[in-house]
Every structure is written in C-alpha cells, then in structure tokens.
C-alpha cells in the first residue's frame, strides 16, 4: 500500500487500523476513536514524526486502548516537560475553535525544527492529543 494524503482523517471505529497503516496516511487533522493503539504504538508515531514523517500534520486526537502512560509513549524520545503555568493559545482546525494548551510534553522535529506538543490529559486518559505549533 502506498502513501495516502488528505486534509482531514476521521474514523469513528479505528479498531482495524494498525500503526503501520496510520504512519502512511499524511493528513493535516485527524480524529480516531476506538483504536487498538497502545502506548508503544504512539511512541512509534512520535519517533516517526520527529524523523520527518507525517509532515503535513497539524493536529490529531487518538482514542487508544487503555490509559496513556506518558513514560512509555515518550520512551527514548527527546522531549521537554512544559509547566502547566505555560499557556499557549491556538486555533484548532480539528474542533474549529480557539483552544488553550496548558503544559504537556514538547518535541521538536529534526528535519525542519517544527515544534509540537503532546497534551497532558492526565493519567486516567485514553486520549493521545498532539498539536503542531510551528
């Protein structure tokens, strides 16, 4: 299967999707629910994005299987912990509204220096929220 490209990718039942499928879709915004993704899969996504993959991505929210464990998602990923005192406002194309981000984990892509934030939705969250700022 070759790469697919689109502006928005929404899938209400993504249990069929593997991380391999996900990594070949180059989209700007996406919302995936009921995925079978685990922490190690999202770690692989972060490594892929940092290496230059999914270069059109602006924002994605993924409902994963089980609770997010940031230590596993961020394993071996160079990142910066951002204080909850630091607030960043942005326009979300995904939710079509202005949003505020407080804290989270910031990563930088090597190839072009783009900065993105993995939002800290708490330890009992099943949602992986990722926003590219620059």
Pairing of strands 25-32, 59-63: parallel
In this prediction, residue 1 carries a pLDDT of 52
In this prediction, residue 2 carries a pLDDT of 59
In this prediction, residue 97 carries a pLDDT of 95
Task: Give, in order, the Cα–Cα distances in Å from 17 to each of 37, 109, 134.
Answer: 8, 25, 28
Residue by residue, pLDDT tens for the chain (134 residues) are 556 678 888 888 888 999 999 999 889 999 999 999 999 999 999 999 999 999 999 999 999 989 999 999 999 999 999 999 999 999 999 899 999 999 999 999 988 999 999 999 887 899 999 999 97
In the chain, where the domains are located: 7-132
Closest by Cα among 128, 13, 130 to 67:
128
In this prediction the pTM is 0.91
By the 10 Å C-beta count (0-12 exposed, 13-18 middle, 19+ buried), 127 is classed as middle
By the 10 Å C-beta count (0-12 exposed, 13-18 middle, 19+ buried), 84 is classed as exposed
């Amino acid at each position: 299967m070759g790469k697919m490209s689109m502006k928005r990718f929404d899938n209400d039942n993504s249990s069929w999707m593997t991380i391999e499928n996900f990594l070949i879709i180059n989209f700007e915004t996406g919302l995936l629910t009921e995925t079978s993704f685990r922490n190690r899969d999202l770690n692989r996504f972060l490594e892929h994005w940092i290496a230059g993959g999914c270069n059109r991505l602006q924002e994605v929210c993924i409902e994963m299987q089980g609770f997010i464990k940031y230590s596993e998602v961020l394993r071996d990923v160079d990142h910066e912990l951002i204080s909850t005192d630091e607030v960043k406002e942005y326009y979300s194309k995904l939710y079509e509204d202005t949003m505020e981000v407080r804290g989270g984990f910031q990563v930088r892509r090597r190839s072009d220096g783009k900065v993105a934030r993995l939002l800290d939705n708490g330890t009992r969250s099943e949602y992986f929220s990722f926003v590219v700022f620059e």
